[in-house]
Amino acid sequence: MPEADIAFLDEVFLGSTAILNTLLGLLNERQFRRGHTRMRCPLRICVGAANELPEDESLAAFADRFLLHVFVEPVADHRLEDLLAAGWQAGRPAVATKADLSCLDVLNAAVDKVDMDAVRPALAHAVRQLRQAGIALSDRRIVRAQRLIAASSALAGRQQATAADLWPLLFAIPHQAAQASAREVLRDVLVQAAHPLLQSVTEHAAQTPQARIGRLVEEADR
Q: Distance between CA 164 and CA 208 in Å, rounded?
A: 14
Phi, psi torsion values for 212, nearest 5 degrees: -70, -40
Phi, psi torsion values for 202, nearest 5 degrees: -65, -35
Residue 130 or residue 61, greater confidence: 130
pLDDT digits (tens, 9 = 90+) for 104-129: 899 999 999 999 999 999 999 999 99
Q: Distance between CA 208 and CA 197 in Å, rounded?
A: 18
Domain ranges of the chain: 6-63, 101-221
Q: Distance between CA 190 and CA 202 in Å, rounded?
A: 8
CA dihedral 206, 207, 212, 213 (to 10 degrees): -80
pLDDT > 80? residue 221? no
pLDDT > 70? residue 20? yes
Q: Are 167 and 205 in contact (CB under 8 A)?
A: yes
pLDDT > 60? residue 194? yes
Task: Please give the pLDDT value at position 177.
Answer: 93
Q: Which of 84, 91, 48, 40 is nearest to 66 (CA)?
A: 48
Which percentage of the chain shows pLDDT scores above 90? 43
Task: Please give the pLDDT value at position 42.
Answer: 87
Q: What pTM does this model have?
A: 0.80
